[in-house]
Structure 1
Amino acid sequence: MSLYDRNHLTSEYDASYDAPLEQGRVSKLIKETYALLTASMVAAAAGAYVAMSTGVAMGLNPLLYFILMIGLIFAMQFAVNRGANSLALVLLFAFTFITGLTLGKVLSLYIGAGMGSVVTQAFVATAVTFGALTIYAMNSKVNVDSWGKPLFISLIAVIIIGFLNYFFFKSSLVSLGISGFSALLFSFYIIYDTKNIINGVYTSPIMAAVGMYLNIYNLFMSLLNILGFANRD
């Protein structure tokens, strides 16, 4: 998920620009990003396992959870900007482990309700969607430079409506609508961030990894809610 608007590095082309050197840097960034993304998934899985085994996340307040997550993201960015990459890595895995705790809470509810197959369906759908969109982004020549602002505005709208629904409306239909829109939104974010990664817009594999992790995580949660709604009696 894009955390802020960026301008492509190639928009300020210099005649002395060393293309082979830049290609090497981008290639390294891509490899490191997806290695960290894989490690982040493992940390999230560990968090989910702990939550499902102990119930440690059952009393987590949504608003406090949201504030904690935003705080960790900003702390990560601050650490990266200061060159404290070791600290940023610790924060990355703390972030993904904690989101895994919340995921474990949700999965426990579905499995406890006899809807374990829905979890499997959502997982497969997320993996297929992510793979297809990644291949599309890597092979497409679509220009995503103008996508940042509308995607970010849409994200803020989803967050606001989501909180309003949780605390006031408490409507399952509104929740379904939010999930449907979120699934579409984070699908576009996968394309957007994949393009930014391969174009070298990200300067840190840590921030690139957390952005992509959030895209996948939110896509999965959205699909899980949609499929769960469709399979309820």
Structure 2
Amino acid sequence: MGLYDRDYARGGSFAYENTSRSDTQIISFVKETYKLFAASMMAGAVGAYVGVPMAGTIAAYFWPLFFLEIGLLIGLHFVKHKPGINLAVMFGFVFMTGLMLAPLLSRTLGMSGGASIIGNAFAMTSVVFGAMSFYAIKTTKDFTGYGKPLMIALFVIIGFSILNIFLGNPMLHVIISGAVVVLFSILVIYDTQNIMNGSYETPIDGAIALYLDFLNIFTALLQLFGIFGNNEE
């Protein structure tokens, strides 16, 4: 899971940040954020497309590639204000996330009806993401103060995920995947409201947050659809 780079304590700074930006600046910020999000989706898709034929190699070198992925994300934090370099690092990171997804995609494609499973997971992710984004914009409820509870939930999921590496319990894996879908669906609302408030430091921050929300929902749904679709055979 791409469970990275979240500042869950940002809720207390909204009033200051919102007053420091005009409505025009916030609108421009939102537009730029969603442009970068769309571009990130395409770069991630390219990474997955390139990675599927070499899924075995990627799986064999999982940990070096994983640390490279994390290194790019950490590096992005330090170069996000440097034009040109920030975009290169951002696209390098999202390309790597697509590459790292390739082994799961390859395994799914090896199942009966694997292409349909992937298509259905992507379609469902798009529906969930779109619905949560719409709700975030239309609701009068403020989710921006939920950072700490979301952080706790995230660490609980990570803890059980690590535990299940050793247990290998299929039912626990299903429960964890379901919890990931629920958590990151809420995070779509949280991140969308942050973006609409202009509360992220840069559009890159907001775009990466949305991208990771989408990626984690898709990955969890793909695992769930793969499990249940495979059991039907």
**TM-score > 0.5 by shorter chain:** yes
- Rounded Cα–Cα distance in structure 2 between residues aligned with 1:45 and 1:190: 20
1:81-129 alpha-carbon deviations (Å, 9 max, x no partner)? xx21322211111111111112222111111122222111111100111
Partner of 2:143: 144
Pairwise CA distance, 1:189: 0.3
Partner of 1:11: 15
Pairwise CA distance, 1:160: 2.4
**Is residue 144–residue 195 contact of structure 1 (8 Å, CA) maintained in 2?**
yes
What is the percent sequence identity of the aligned residues? 34
**Is residue 57–residue 102 contact of structure 1 (8 Å, CA) maintained in 2?**
yes
**Is residue 133–residue 189 contact of structure 2 (8 Å, CA) maintained in 1?**
yes
- CA shift in 2, pair 1:60/1:163, >3 Å: farther
TM-score (normalised: structure 2)? 0.89
1:59 aligns with 2:60: yes
- CA shift in 2, pair 1:60/1:158, >3 Å: farther
Partner of 2:28: 28
TM-score (normalised: structure 1)? 0.89
**Is residue 9–residue 200 contact of structure 1 (8 Å, CA) maintained in 2?**
no
**Is residue 2–residue 148 contact of structure 1 (8 Å, CA) maintained in 2?**
no
Count of aligned pairs between the two proteins:
225
Partner of 1:75: 75
1:187-210 alpha-carbon deviations (Å, 9 max, x no partner)? 000000000000111120011111
Partner of 1:125: 124
Consecutive unaligned residues of structure 1, counting only runs of 5 or more, are: none
Partner of 1:225: 223
Partner of 1:44: 44
SS at the partner of 2:11? coil
Consecutive unaligned residues of structure 2, counting only runs of 5 or more, are: none
- Rounded Cα–Cα distance in structure 2 between residues aligned with 1:79 and 1:13: 21
Partner of 1:201: 199
Partner of 1:163: 162
Paired amino acid for 2:169: S
Paired amino acid for 1:12: Y
- Rounded Cα–Cα distance in structure 2 between residues aligned with 1:66 and 1:181: 23
Paired amino acid for 1:57: I
**Is residue 76–residue 88 contact of structure 1 (8 Å, CA) maintained in 2?**
yes
1:126-174 alpha-carbon deviations (Å, 9 max, x no partner)? 01111111111111111123210111121122222212212x1111111
**Is residue 66–residue 100 contact of structure 2 (8 Å, CA) maintained in 1?**
no
Q: Which region of structure 1 is more displaced relative to structure 2, 113-122 or 89-98?
A: 113-122
**Is residue 125–residue 217 contact of structure 2 (8 Å, CA) maintained in 1?**
yes
**Is residue 2–residue 189 contact of structure 1 (8 Å, CA) maintained in 2?**
no
- CA shift in 2, pair 1:52/1:156, >3 Å: same
Partner of 2:103: 105
Q: Which region of structure 1 is more displaced relative to structure 2, 119-128 or 141-150?
A: 141-150
Pairwise CA distance, 1:225: 1.2
Paired amino acid for 2:34: Y
